[in-house]
Structure 1
Amino acid sequence: MKAANRLSDGRNIGLQQQRFQREEFRACVRALLMTPLMSPADDDFAAVRRQAEALREWFSREAGWILQVEREGARLYKRPGNLSDAMRGLPGYDRRRYVLLCLACAVLERADPQITLRLLGERLLELAAEPALDFTFTLEAQHERRELVSVCRTLLGLGVLHRVAGDEETFVQAGGDQADALYDVQRRMLAGMLAAVRGPSTWIPEEAPVTLEARLHAMVDEHVADSEEGRRTALRHQLARRLLDDPVVYVETLDAEASAYFFNQRGTMAARLCDAAGLVAEQRAEGLALVDEGGLLTDVAMPAEGTDAHVTLLVAEHLAAGQRQRRKDGAGTAQAHVMREHDIADFLHEVKGQYGRYWRKSAREPGAERELAAIAIDRLEKLQLAVRKAGVVHPLPALARFAMGEAELRETRNAPAQAIDSLFGPT
């Protein structure tokens, strides 16, 4: 009896250890998807080091992404499956700020283990003066110093810089010799900043790509084996990257070869990805979405707290309700319910009396509706719930999940097996 009890206890412990390993692995997958450049200061770094071998194998097999885990940090080299998506990028960054970020990294690459904010700015000015850049930057105006500080704070957040002493805001306000900050440069984190297959500096000027699209492809294009298996693997990696990175993958955005593979394999792919990342698959005629029910595995949550999120939800419901009404009236999907940007601003002006008391003070000011409308449209585009073309907002199929209305019961017992509802909404 005692031997049987010990055997049972051993099995329970073994099962608990297996469960812990699975849960820790899933937490690490989610953490790396959200923080592909991870410093030792991150809460999940210790677990990522423990699970490093299994994580490397999984990311390589499922998405073709390389994972490097060292004592100084971890880097998941995520490469997007859709290079034409303009909604990616660091919050608040435009072309000018990206140029400053690249120049700052170039300065740090040549710097000593420690550098001051002022010295970083001075050396950045020297690089910015290169005529080929066609770029103008000085540290004379306060707004330019603030741009430099914004870049430094990005690098601080990524773990590339570590503040030793000083204050950036004093540098912005005063700009004098006494206003400065001192940083440690984390070389390992700096080396992991660029997630490209080939660095831009490896091209000679005569052979360098000219257009932005050509440059993007040149940096991330990977070797594909010239065989049927090689092409299938490349397709699977491309689709897995989009499913892990994008809110939803629409079939209409895929070419014929990718679409055929997607229809045949999406169920199996979704099951594997969902199991490892803790997601839930929603498969419909128009595409597939891997949803995080906790709302944590996303850059833009919806619904969420705050004025911007509330306004976005109101606009989403309004667009979706109009889309549903058109379907009930027989308009079909060919003529989707579209709205111009100023119409959305007018709608927000109308509902401000009902919901404005929940918004921040500045959002209740006269004329604030235009700014709120722009914010809402931007968030809907990032979530791939709508697309903006020439000032007109077109709802996408997944927006139907936010349509509020009475439940509609339909008999489906005798429906053909191949019939599939439209994505997140009624047909």
Structure 2
Amino acid sequence: MTSIEEQDLAARRARAIQELVARPLLDRRAPSFATIATSERWLKEWFARACGWILIVDYRRGLARLRKVTGEVDASFPLRSLRQGGKVFTKRKYVLLCLVAAALGEHGRSRMSLHDIAVAVADLGVRAGVAPYNDLDHKDRQAMVDVLLVLAQLGIVAELDRSGRDYGADRGGNVLYEIDEQRLAQLLVAPMPPARCASWQQMITEERHLRQDADGPSRLATAAAKQRLMRRLLDRPVCYPSDLSTDEVAAMPDGAAELQRWLAEAGMFLEIRADAWMVVNRRSSAPRTLRDGSNVANAALLVLEVIARDPSVDWVSAAHLASAVGELLDEYPWWAKSLRKDPHRVASVTTLLSSFDLIRPESGGWKIMPAAWRWTTSVDPESVSTVPRQPSAAAAGHAQDDLFSQELM
């Protein structure tokens, strides 16, 4: 294999890793599915070594499932409706998602109508001791439709036939679905299987019975700490040492080179600073980035430049941040008309910034996190303790142009 072919293969594998991290349940329509199928063994070994995750590939059925487990609850990237402007799933919709998945699993046949799903969900709700599903309630029907749209996007159900009006608007409407039982079985991923747990809290507890040496953590414990760091960096491009456990902090110095190598294989590189570790990803097609061109993202960048202007100030009041958003829109009256009319525009901006861990709620305002200054026009070179080996020519550009283009689930 020539060097050009090797580079092309490495680039395709990097794209496959990022796509699997962003969407852990893929079908053959995914752009990287062919690479996942042909590089199955290499990708399985990479995820097992770098993250401790299991990759399942069934190219005959067109299925790729990355079993991502973290051992912690992360509400930063919730499910969103595929209609209604992408509203975040409510607690009720999450409950219905679980009930619908259980109803499809209990059905035992490859096809099921929407009306049959509604009846089964109502019965399961009573048995589970939660508020039962009510198809007379317009909001419940809308929530049911949102859940089924998400399951259809994941390939778990596929519409075969439709009759009547939209079920969300008219309870007389009906849809016949085909169920992909294999994808349904792969939907739930947890460190602990449900059969061994008495509560959902136990399901997210990752058991690692690792021997501790008398003079410090064992090799297995150190490897586990590196994997947890890698998981964190893949899902959240900013990592603050103050948020890490003792064993993770201890693994940071020795594990830096290994983490850099793993991230390089995933098409990214690790920027290590005294106050934060940050993952840089220059993929132009990365869907989750503060530079995605949306009105909210542009407003967040401009507001961040205002509130992070003075490095000696690490807190901003909620009123001042809201005022900054308003002044920004007043300064550019021809821009972002949809954002200007949105009553939740300030919440949208703060939610986006906090999802990248650039600000955190604190004492009636927002704490400006150290990584926020990575987006300012000037960067203090003394704050960088380690730089990636052989950085590309693009690395010399402005810092705010390329950070956090990290694909996420």
Q: Write the deviation string for residues 164-208 of structure 1: whole angstroms up to 9, x where unpaired.
A: 2227971112221xx2112111111111111113233443xxxx2
Q: Is the radius of gyration larger for structure 1 or structure 2?
A: 1
Residue 60 (structure 1) shift: 0.4
Contact 2:315 2:365 in 1 (8 A): no
Cα distance in 1, alignment partners of residues 380 and 19 from structure 2:
40
The answer to whether residue 210 in structure 2 is matched with residue 225 in structure 1 is yes
Contact 2:273 2:385 in 1 (8 A): no
Cα distance in 2, alignment partners of residues 338 and 168 from structure 1:
53
Cα distance in 2, alignment partners of residues 96 and 125 from structure 1:
13
Unaligned 5+ segments in structure 2 are: 81-87, 213-217, 388-398, 401-409
Provide the residue aligned with 1:9 in structure 2: none
Unaligned 5+ segments in structure 1 are: 1-12, 210-214, 328-334
Q: Following superposition of structure 1 onto structure 2, how do residues 306-317 of structure 1 map, counting pairs within 5 Å?
A: 306-317=294-305
Provide the residue aligned with 2:11 in structure 1: 23
Provide the residue aligned with 2:187 in structure 1: 193
Cα distance in 1, alignment partners of residues 258 and 321 from structure 2:
38
Aligned AA (1:394)? K
Number of residue pairs aligned between Structure 1 and Structure 2: 374
Cα distance in 2, alignment partners of residues 390 and 167 from structure 1:
53
Residue 220 (structure 1) shift: 4.3
- Structure 1 residues 356 and 32: alpha-carbon distance in aligned structure 2, compared to 1, 3 A threshold: same
- Structure 1 residues 358 and 154: alpha-carbon distance in aligned structure 2, compared to 1, 3 A threshold: same
Aligned AA (1:337)? W
Contact 1:62 1:237 in 2 (8 A): yes
Q: Write the deviation string for residues 257-315 of structure 1: whole angstroms up to 9, x where unpaired.
A: 2112113322x1332122211112211001211111125445x3212222222222222
Provide the residue aligned with 1:364 in structure 2: 340
Out of 118, 121, 125, the residue aligned to residue 124 of structure 1 is 121
- Structure 1 residues 297 and 95: alpha-carbon distance in aligned structure 2, compared to 1, 3 A threshold: same
Q: Write the deviation string for residues 210-233 of structure 1: whole angstroms up to 9, x where unpaired.
A: xxxxx4454341333325122112
Greater shift in the superposed pair: 274-283 or 59-68:
274-283
- Structure 1 residues 271 and 107: alpha-carbon distance in aligned structure 2, compared to 1, 3 A threshold: same
Residue 144 (structure 1) shift: 1.5
Provide the residue aligned with 1:351 in structure 2: 328
Residue 33 (structure 1) shift: 1.1
Cα distance in 1, alignment partners of residues 15 and 329 from structure 2:
40
Out of 136, 160, 164, the residue aligned to residue 160 of structure 2 is 164
Contact 2:272 2:385 in 1 (8 A): no
Provide the residue aligned with 2:395 in structure 1: none
Cα distance in 2, alignment partners of residues 285 and 43 from structure 1:
37
Q: Following superposition of structure 1 onto structure 2, how do residues 255-294 of structure 1 map, counting pairs within 5 Å?
A: 255-266=245-256, 268-294=257-283
Provide the residue aligned with 1:241 in structure 2: 231
Cα distance in 1, alignment partners of residues 165 and 188 from structure 2:
28
Cα distance in 2, alignment partners of residues 161 and 167 from structure 1:
17
The secondary structure found in structure 1 opposite 2:327 is helix
Contact 1:149 1:172 in 2 (8 A): yes
Aligned AA (2:314)? A
Q: RMSD between aligned alpha carbons?
A: 2.7
Cα distance in 2, alignment partners of residues 231 and 125 from structure 1:
46
The secondary structure found in structure 2 opposite 1:358 is coil
Query: Percent identical across equivalent pairs?
Result: 24
Greater shift in the superposed pair: 21-30 or 51-60:
21-30
Q: Write the deviation string for residues 125-150 of structure 1: whole angstroms up to 9, x where unpaired.
A: 111123x5332431112222110000
The secondary structure found in structure 2 opposite 1:74 is strand
Contact 2:101 2:184 in 1 (8 A): yes
The secondary structure found in structure 2 opposite 1:357 is coil
Contact 1:224 1:234 in 2 (8 A): no
Provide the residue aligned with 1:142 in structure 2: 138
Cα distance in 1, alignment partners of residues 325 and 131 from structure 2:
39
Cα distance in 2, alignment partners of residues 248 and 408 from structure 1:
17
The secondary structure found in structure 2 opposite 1:119 is helix
Q: Following superposition of structure 1 onto structure 2, how do residues 7-22 of structure 1 map, counting pairs within 5 Å?
A: 14-22=2-10
Higher helix share: 1
Contact 1:240 1:269 in 2 (8 A): no
Contact 1:24 1:47 in 2 (8 A): yes
Contact 1:159 1:189 in 2 (8 A): yes
Q: Give the structure-1-normalised TM-score.
A: 0.80
Provide the residue aligned with 1:66 in structure 2: 54
Q: Give the structure-2-normalised TM-score.
A: 0.83
Provide the residue aligned with 1:90 in structure 2: 79
The secondary structure found in structure 2 opposite 1:171 is coil
The secondary structure found in structure 2 opposite 1:75 is strand
Q: Write the deviation string for residues 92-137 of structure 1: whole angstroms up to 9, x where unpaired.
A: 123221111110100111222011222211211111123x533243
Q: Which has the higher contact order (CA 8 A, sep 6+)?
A: 2
Contact 1:270 1:290 in 2 (8 A): no
- Structure 1 residues 44 and 114: alpha-carbon distance in aligned structure 2, compared to 1, 3 A threshold: same
- Structure 1 residues 293 and 15: alpha-carbon distance in aligned structure 2, compared to 1, 3 A threshold: closer
- Structure 1 residues 357 and 23: alpha-carbon distance in aligned structure 2, compared to 1, 3 A threshold: same
Cα distance in 2, alignment partners of residues 264 and 166 from structure 1:
58
